[in-house]
A and B are shown apart, each in its own frame.
Chain A
Amino acid sequence: MATYQDFIQQNEERDGVRFSWNLWPSSRLEATRLVVPVSCLFTPLKERSELPPVQYEPVLCSRANCRAVLNPIQVDFKAKIWACNFCFQRNPFPPTYHGISEVNQPAELMPQFSTIEYIVQRGPPSPLVFLYVVDTCLEEEDLQALRESLQMSLILLPPNALVGLITFGRMVQVHELSCEGIAKSYVFRGTKELNPKQIQEMLGLTKPATPGQQGRPPAPQEETSFSLPSTLRFLQPVHKVDTNLTDLLGELQRDPWPVAQGKRPLRSTGIALSIAVGLLEGTFPNTGARIMLFTGGPPSQGPGMVVGDELKTPIRSWHDIQKDNARHLKKATKYYEGLATRAAENGHSIDIYACALDQTGLLEMKCCSNLTGGHIVMGDSFNTSLFKQTFQRVFSKENGEFRMAFGGTLEVKTSRELKVSGTIGPCVSLHTKGPCVSEIEMGIGGTTQWKVCSLTPSTTLALYFEIMNQHNAPIPQGGRGAIQFVTQYQHASMQRRIRVTTVARSWADAQSQIQHIESSFDQEASAVLMARLGVFKAESEEGPDVLRWLDRQLIRLFMFHLRRSPFLQVFNNSPDESSYYRHHFVRQDLTQSLIMIQPILYSYSFYGPPEPVLLDSSSILPDRILLMDTFFQLVIYHGETIAQWRKAGYQDMPEYENFKQLLQAPLDDALEILRLRFPMPRYIDTEHGGSQARFLLSKVNPSQTHNNLYAWGQESGAPILTDDVSLQVFMDHLKKLAVSSSA
């Protein structure tokens, strides 16, 4: 048997699953003692090029409340029956499987297809919908950049996708794309909340035979001034309207309402979103759709407003929030949650592209994306490559297909000894009660089904399980527990697909086999899983409590960084930034998550190939180039000497070709990271003493500070001016605690 390392890696490759424990403690009591719960990170759409989808429907367990999908376990080929490994129901094979035998198995029975994807044909393929919701209260320069990005995006959209445009400022305009001649839009007041029915009525989307219309017979022609079917007025296939829409975007004006001195522009983000949600709700329910919100500032009027229009009242800070001074926070959050829930219920996701120097209210609006699986991208301006490239990357293609999927539902089935406690990730509960729902909730629980409105191949959910088996009813030796993940989604090619992943792990008695269990521990996965729990708690609870909880739970090296990370620490981050960081943390896969927790530091020097170095101030040396990847930032730091050389222009001299190469190496690596990373990290090229160097300095372990510089007495490294404790101090303290607690 290969090492657990290999096993874990192999499993991750094949199924996109990483468990915290790869042997499961066989009783509930033991499981609790292990502190880190049995849990896993699951990447539903993990890219698997070697996995061709099959073109038929999955075979389901016939028990009504089970409906598990046929998988490689426990099949009796002779009797042509299979026993469900979740409910033990014995099911006959359907007639189409009559030729089945050991040598002639359908794909789902082959062990290597523990993850299998079905393409199902149900109903007509529904189109993808992209609804742009664009803030017009922008500086001209920003607006211009945004216009261009939007126009560019039309080329990237699948030609048969439907596209729509809503612009907002003081008012909200829903643009009709079908009309010829005069550009036409429906306008809504930015302050008045409308229910979905009203919105649809006002857009003329209700069925023609609305009450109050006399003359039933000619009813279908009711809206004859608009010759197209009413639903299509606002959402048109890209190929039909791209020129029209390009012009429309080109003519997009800044919000024409004057903004008085000392005022913020009035931004009706709340209403704009509600209309977008309402429009899709009425026209394309349960169809993959993205509402893409581009905003350049905080919502400042109407429901969902985050800050008033007086510039003299600044937007809420953590300080205000802690002091309960954020007037609009609760109301706005509630409002956006309501919207997000509605969108999620209809399978629509909301992306937020917020570009402004100040906060834009992501804290309040984050749920829109978090619940619907939408993206959040935060930048300083639409006129930055960060935004432009990130936005472009949303539409990136792999083998000619979009790296996005829509309207997913994830269902988890567990064998009896297990129950599912909940999940943490970009999803909402579908409130499906079932036998495998645990009473203990971790993350979003109380259900076996979740809706993930938008998925990318890297979208990763954390799932937490509870061992139900009582200590006094041992599981027979060699028994295996099984978990099945059923993900139904709309593929970018508009097909509906079902991906089924079935995993099984052995039970182990914690008392007798503690070493085995120990060795099956997946440190990285556990770290991320626990961190997610931490973030989830941080979102819902007060900050210090979470840290304390975390401290109590477990102590590892990365915890030092996690404690210092923006996911738990709000110091030096605006509420929006925290929301942004957390948003990404709870959806990225394990590798990315680890980077977020503990940034990676590479060192480039003449002394050898690039090497990862400790994230410590002692790594900052004058003759090195450092490349730090924190996921959100990519910092290239030139040591003092290198910087001087560079300034002197050595790299341009033919005799210092190697220096040129040295300078180039981190750039190439950074480009490699930039190429794949979504969202685009902030790219920082700095040097010793540069103001941007703070990004690096704030991350490294402050092993040398102004306090101990002389005591340390070494020449290498750079002192960090901070009062934060260094890892050494932290560890010392921990040791003391560990000893005292055990005593």
Chain B
Amino acid sequence: MSQQGYVATPPYSQAQLGMGGHPGGFGGPPSQPVYGHYGGPPQPFPIPPGGTQHGILGIHKGPVSAPSAMPQPPASSHYGSSVQQNGSYTQGFPPPPAASSSFGQVPQSPYQNIAPQATPSTHQLTNQISNMQISGYGQGPMPTPQSPSRSAPQQPFHSAPPHLMAQTPTAPGPQSPSMGSPLPLGGPPPMGGMMPAPMGGPAFHQLQGQGTPQGYPQPPAAGPYGGQLAGPQPGFPGSFPGGAAQMAGPPQKKLDPDSIPSTTQVIEDDQAKRGGQIYATNLRGQIPPLVTSNFTVQDQGNASPRFMRCTTYTFPCTSDLAKQCQVPLGTVIKPFATIPKNETPLYVVNHGETGPIRCNRCKAYMCPFMQFIDGGRRFQCAFCSCINEVPVFYFQHLDHMGRRMDLYERPELSLGSYEFIATLDYCKNNKPPNPPAYIFMIDVSYTNIKSGLVKLLCEELKTLLEKLPREEGVESSAVRVGFVTYNKILHFYNVKSALAQPQMMVVSDVAEMFVPLQDGFLVNYQESRAVIHNLLDQIPDMFADTNESETVFAPIIQAGVEAFKAAECSGKLFIFHSSIPTAEAPGKLKNRDDRKLFNTEKEKTLFQPLKGVYEQLCKDCVAQGCCVDLFLFPSQYLDLATMGDVPTHTGGSVYKYSNFQAEVDGTHFLNDLRKDVEKPIGFDAIMRVRTSTGFRATDFFGAIHMNNTTDVEMAAVDCDNALTVEFKHDDTLNEETGAFIQCALLYTTVGGQRRLRVHNLSLNCSSQLSELYKSCETDTLINFFAKSAYRAMLNQPLKNIREILVNQTAHMLACYRKNCASPSAASQLILPDAMKVFPVYMNSLMKTPAMVGSPEISTDERVLQRLCVMAMGVEETQVLLYPCLIPLQNMDVSSSVLPGAVRCSEERLSDNGMFLLENGRLLFLWLGQACPSELIQSLFNVPSFAHLPEELNSLPELDNPQSKKVHAIISAISERRTNRMKLLIVKQKDRPEILFRQHLVEDKGLHGGASYMDFLCYVHREVRQLLT
């Protein structure tokens, strides 16, 4: 499929050039220095691209020589063949160096040879990275090879760098060590050793110094290159130090940016291939369609991918293999994932008073993997192999296949996911739980009153409360509601239905919080509607002229916990809070936002929550099943790291609306709130992931709390909450039996029923790494990496984390290359098919605001992202890390399909275009300066681009096909996202465009971070280092 596109690409043809340079390059420097350099303290990878570039530089050299043979038609065909090839790489890719010379063609033949044995999945990407970069970069919006003319004008740039280099030596000390390392790199690769040792260093420096986003030094490419760079990206300072020196290199051809693996392409292909189909989960280790594809799941014994997705569906048999490949073994579980209407909801199984049938030893629940033996009198546990008696009431004869006769009558024997009714043994204090309650806690301090939030919220609650979640098939919701307002003291409200007027009870003892009333605080909305409405009407007036600006925070959560304790129920707190809690009370916070810490060892402290009160609060909340949803309306720093601690440990969400103004941000907030309140959700949950022998769950990432190493506790789990589990080997796995995972979640429904939700998944095991690589799932992998990186942020400097991420990426790829790919020129970057877009995600991850310290992004914003990602499922991380960019200018008004997305890169934008970009959290509408007036007219009702008002906050709904279509697209996009996204309208060349640009993840990051192409180069170099 897509891979052909790029396998065919230039790399091959260029190989020859590389050849020359390569050997030298490889042999030259020991790999270690390289590493050191990368991870080396001096140059954190992303900061300025500098560091990266360096590496790339080296790599380049080899490839540099590669002529721009990229647009190779043959490629595709040849690839086609290559598809089947796999595993047998041993034969070597094109004959060593020699082959490379004739690369363009060569590959084909090897591939074909291989083909027979190979399975199709491997995807080899041999690229002359340098070329790619060049092309990618240099190209303006058009993918075609660059015109030579362009290069000429650029020359000046090249010349410039040398000067810079000259200056560089003065660069700050820390960098100098790094310089050393690059040198070797730089040295060898450049063919002919053209690049003098010093070159690399300076180049790097210079880049850093300038802080230019993109300066990656493209030595060899220099000539053609510089020009290109300069062309499209005005901001690009001619940072081509090496360039000049290398000019001498063979002429370069331009690389088509389209030639590097394209996420949009992958998505499209998968949608084309598997979209709209039924995915039956009957096979072990079956790889599901991508999260972006539309498919229907039929549960036939394994949990739907909506509930569980694995990083790979084939586990390596031994821990050695696992270590070797470095592919994390993990699964992302979203236990309450929303099931589309056309799929069957989970069956509820009732095993009566004895409770669900479980293995006596490991306590795994009855599931399709259990083996019935002895004529059905006993069953063997698939997880621990223990042999258990079948209870009399559960006995059933086996058929000739050894399966129970009632297999298809019992969901727990035939389905991957189902629920059990839990008995009293599974309840707190052996008492049936009460239905949960929702408490709305409204900060009525000055800020929130002034911004209009309180009024807006109170008004909204009147209708919102009609839509509380309820049990399937029940008339009205069993969820009770309560209200609290607060500033530095708390006001509880008695809204008992019998009252004519609500009663306010003030608690000012914030040091030791308690709930002043029980009866009348948590009420059934339907019964107390009149009193509640009365209250909601009065709240904005009561505090209308408040001057109180101080707030408390920890005490209000404490109050919620106490309320639930008193009412003996679990529930959720909706907190609408405005400012950093400075009032004298437990959990008082102070401003500890120190930007000086950015990019230092201590940066992690910005992300760490303060311990003490909040830590205890987390425990209390989880113990009581009290989930906290936090809606923040700050105008400045509020220590989100600490304030968000409780929500993220209780399965809650954090929403932030900076400088909230009811008129402007009201709709967005209300949309979020509505969705949040109405969400399907389970409370007071405890989850256990059981595995078959040979491996076990070792680590859990998510909005969870863990008291011990095995039980995952969540105050609440909603349909968007996902946690990521990492597995490690205990022992060897058996290829025959495979691996089983059972995730059991005990929770309380919104109706107050105790239930057990069980998800089962079976995986393949293999001693062949190629099998593993074949069944990898990039989206899940990146979710895993994102969460582990975001968690590591608390304990390690970002630099280290980025380094680890890159190292691991390189390792994964190197291992693949070494073990699974056919031999090829070292200059080729070979990516497994299933992971071919992995680098773009990885690069994007490292460029996320959380991972990149920039003075322009507030600490809270970074923290927020960190917190949000921790609870994200695969779908959300996918779109977050590779936003969806949809061109609107040519949309087909009559069609109901979404226009196809394009790659997230600036060069895809056009002055006369209009684009939608969404990443699951934000939605941008980008308007090109030359956007057709007709389109502007039909969408905004103004004659032309120039007539657009300064501040564009909303998109009017107009009665014309274009406007309707755009709105339809927007709502279709929003529909599938967990958050309601705020629409930001961005005009080209307007200030806010910066915000938009951050999301063009294939480009160089605005605040640092390499472009996709650079990153590939860098990774490639790393891979090569590893391979030598």
Tell whether A192 pairs with B508 under 8 Å between CB atoms, given A182-B503, A187-B492: no
Which of B492, B509, B542: most chain A Cβ within 10 A?
A: B509
Q: Which residues of B contact A622 (CB under 8 A)?
A: none
Do residues A181 and B547 form an inter-chain contact, with CB atoms below 8 A? no
For residue A7, CB closer than 8 A to chain B, the reply is no
Do residues B508 and A202 form an inter-chain contact, with CB atoms below 8 A? yes
Q: Which residues of A contact B491 (CB under 8 A)?
A: 184
Q: Secondary structure at chain B's binding surface: helix, strand, loop or mixed? A: loop
For residue A692, CB closer than 8 A to chain B, the reply is no
Please name the residue on chain A nearest to B492 by beta carbon: A187
B496-522, CB under 8 A of A: which get 1 and which 0?
000101111111110010101111100
Do residues A256 and B501 form an inter-chain contact, with CB atoms below 8 A? no
Tell whether A186 pairs with B507 under 8 Å between CB atoms, given A257-B518, A258-B518: yes
Do residues A173 and B512 form an inter-chain contact, with CB atoms below 8 A? no
Smallest Cβ distance from B720 to chain A, in angstroms? 36
For residue A715, CB closer than 8 A to chain B, the reply is no
Tell whether A182 pairs with B509 under 8 Å between CB atoms, given A171-B517, A224-B546: no
Q: Which residues of B contact A6 (CB under 8 A)?
A: none
Do residues B506 and A181 form an inter-chain contact, with CB atoms below 8 A? no
Do residues B502 and A182 form an inter-chain contact, with CB atoms below 8 A? yes
Do residues A221 and B508 form an inter-chain contact, with CB atoms below 8 A? no
Do residues B509 and A202 form an inter-chain contact, with CB atoms below 8 A? yes
Using a Cβ–Cβ cut-off of 8 Å, how many residues does chain B contribute to the interface with A? 34
Smallest Cβ distance from B485 to chain A, in angstroms? 10
Q: Which residues of A contact B538 (CB under 8 A)?
A: 181-182
For residue B637, CB closer than 8 A to chain A, the reply is no
Do residues B547 and A184 form an inter-chain contact, with CB atoms below 8 A? no
Please name the residue on chain B nearest to A174 by beta carbon: B506
For residue B598, CB closer than 8 A to chain A, the reply is no
For residue B584, CB closer than 8 A to chain A, the reply is yes
- Cβ-neighbour of B547 out of A185, A192, A218 (below 8 A): A218
For residue A262, CB closer than 8 A to chain B, the reply is no
Q: Which residues of B contact A258 (CB under 8 A)?
A: 518-519
Smallest Cβ distance from A244 to chain B, in angstroms? 12
For residue A50, CB closer than 8 A to chain B, the reply is no
- Bound Cα distance from A202 to B545, whole angstroms: 21
- Cβ-neighbour of A181 out of B493, B542, B546 (below 8 A): B542
Tell whether A184 pairs with B512 under 8 Å between CB atoms, given A171-B517, A225-B545: no
Tell whether A187 pairs with B507 under 8 Å between CB atoms, given A171-B517, A182-B535, A257-B518: yes
- Bound Cα distance from A256 to B514, whole angstroms: 15
Q: Which residues of B contact A194 (CB under 8 A)?
A: 509
- Bound Cα distance from A222 to B503, whole angstroms: 23
- Bound Cα distance from A224 to B543, whole angstroms: 8
A194-212, CB under 8 A of B: which get 1 and which 0?
1000100111100000001
Q: Which residues of B contact A222 (CB under 8 A)?
A: 547-548
Smallest Cβ distance from A501 to chain B, in angstroms? 48
Tell whether A192 pairs with B519 under 8 Å between CB atoms, given A182-B542, A185-B504: no
Tell whether A184 pairs with B503 under 8 Å between CB atoms, given A189-B509, A203-B508: yes
Please name the residue on chain A nearest to B510 by beta carbon: A202
- Bound Cα distance from A185 to B547, whole angstroms: 20
Smallest Cβ distance from B532 to chain A, in angstroms? 12
- Cβ-neighbour of B504 out of A182, A201, A221, A223 (below 8 A): A182
- Cβ-neighbour of B512 out of A171, A189, A213 (below 8 A): A189
Do residues A182 and B501 form an inter-chain contact, with CB atoms below 8 A? yes
Tell whether A183 pairs with B504 under 8 Å between CB atoms, given A188-B509, A202-B509, A221-B547: yes
Do residues A186 and B547 form an inter-chain contact, with CB atoms below 8 A? no
Please name the residue on chain A nearest to B502 by beta carbon: A182
- Bound Cα distance from A258 to B518, whole angstroms: 9
Smallest Cβ distance from A180 to chain B, in angstroms? 10
For residue A251, CB closer than 8 A to chain B, the reply is yes
Do residues B509 and A192 form an inter-chain contact, with CB atoms below 8 A? yes
- Bound Cα distance from A225 to B539, whole angstroms: 11
Please name the residue on chain A nearest to B507 by beta carbon: A187
Smallest Cβ distance from B458 to chain A, in angstroms? 13
Tell whether A256 pairs with B520 under 8 Å between CB atoms, given A192-B509, A222-B548: yes
Q: Which residues of B contact A202 (CB under 8 A)?
A: 489, 508-509
- Bound Cα distance from A183 to B531, whole angstroms: 13
Q: Which residues of B contact A201 (CB under 8 A)?
A: 508
Do residues A225 and B509 form an inter-chain contact, with CB atoms below 8 A? no
- Bound Cα distance from A223 to B535, whole angstroms: 21
Please name the residue on chain B nearest to A189 by beta carbon: B514
Do residues A173 and B508 form an inter-chain contact, with CB atoms below 8 A? no
- Cβ-neighbour of B503 out of A183, A213, A215, A224 (below 8 A): A183
Q: Which residues of B contact A186 (CB under 8 A)?
A: 505-508
- Bound Cα distance from A148 to B630, whole angstroms: 46
A487-498, CB under 8 A of B: which get 1 and which 0?
000000000000
- Bound Cα distance from A203 to B507, whole angstroms: 9
- Bound Cα distance from A144 to B503, whole angstroms: 20
Q: Which residues of B contact A257 (CB under 8 A)?
A: 517-519
- Bound Cα distance from A286 to B547, whole angstroms: 33
- Bound Cα distance from A35 to B512, whole angstroms: 58
Do residues A187 and B548 form an inter-chain contact, with CB atoms below 8 A? no
Smallest Cβ distance from A139 to chain B, in angstroms? 17
Q: Which residues of B contact A251 (CB under 8 A)?
A: 499
Q: Which residues of A contact B493 (CB under 8 A)?
A: 182
Do residues B548 and A225 form an inter-chain contact, with CB atoms below 8 A? yes
Q: Which residues of A contact B542 (CB under 8 A)?
A: 181-182, 225
Which of A182, A184, A218: most chain B Cβ within 10 A?
A: A182
Smallest Cβ distance from A254 to chain B, in angstroms? 10
Do residues A181 and B501 form an inter-chain contact, with CB atoms below 8 A? yes
Q: Which residues of A contact B506 (CB under 8 A)?
A: 176, 184-187
Residues from 252 to 299 in A contacting B, C-beta threshold 8 Å: 256-258
- Bound Cα distance from A182 to B584, whole angstroms: 27
Please name the residue on chain B nearest to A171 by beta carbon: B516
Do residues A212 and B584 form an inter-chain contact, with CB atoms below 8 A? yes
- Bound Cα distance from A188 to B517, whole angstroms: 11
Please name the residue on chain A nearest to B537 by beta carbon: A181
Q: Which residues of A contact B492 (CB under 8 A)?
A: 187
Smallest Cβ distance from B41 to chain A, in angstroms? 42
- Bound Cα distance from A224 to B546, whole angstroms: 5
B525-546, CB under 8 A of A: which get 1 and which 0?
0000000000100100111011
- Bound Cα distance from A198 to B509, whole angstroms: 9
Do residues B512 and A192 form an inter-chain contact, with CB atoms below 8 A? yes
Smallest Cβ distance from A50 to chain B, in angstroms? 53
Q: Which residues of B contact A203 (CB under 8 A)?
A: 508
Smallest Cβ distance from B511 to chain A, in angstroms? 9
Smallest Cβ distance from A223 to chain B, in angstroms? 8
Smallest Cβ distance from B204 to chain A, in angstroms? 49
Which of A185, A221, A224: most chain B Cβ within 10 A?
A: A185
- Bound Cα distance from A194 to B550, whole angstroms: 23
Do residues B546 and A173 form an inter-chain contact, with CB atoms below 8 A? no
Residues from 160 to 183 in A contacting B, C-beta threshold 8 Å: 171, 173, 176, 179, 181-183
A418-439, CB under 8 A of B: which get 1 and which 0?
0000000000000000000000
- Cβ-neighbour of A256 out of B519, B541, B547, B550 (below 8 A): B519
- Bound Cα distance from A527 to B514, whole angstroms: 55
- Bound Cα distance from A223 to B508, whole angstroms: 13
Residues from 323 to 373 in A contacting B, C-beta threshold 8 Å: none
Q: List 28 A-B contacts (CB under 8 A).
A: A171-B514, A171-B517, A173-B505, A173-B516, A181-B501, A182-B504, A182-B538, A183-B501, A185-B503, A185-B504, A186-B505, A186-B508, A187-B506, A187-B507, A189-B509, A201-B508, A202-B509, A204-B508, A212-B583, A222-B548, A225-B542, A225-B543, A225-B545, A225-B548, A256-B517, A256-B519, A258-B518, A258-B519
- 20 other A-B residue contacts (CB within 8 Å) besides A224-B546, A256-B518: A171-B516, A173-B505, A173-B516, A182-B501, A182-B502, A182-B504, A182-B542, A185-B505, A187-B516, A188-B509, A192-B512, A203-B508, A204-B489, A215-B549, A221-B547, A224-B548, A225-B543, A225-B548, A256-B520, A258-B519
On A, residues with C-beta under 8 Å from B are: 171, 173, 176, 179, 181-189, 192, 194, 198, 201-204, 212-213, 215, 218, 221-225, 251, 256-258
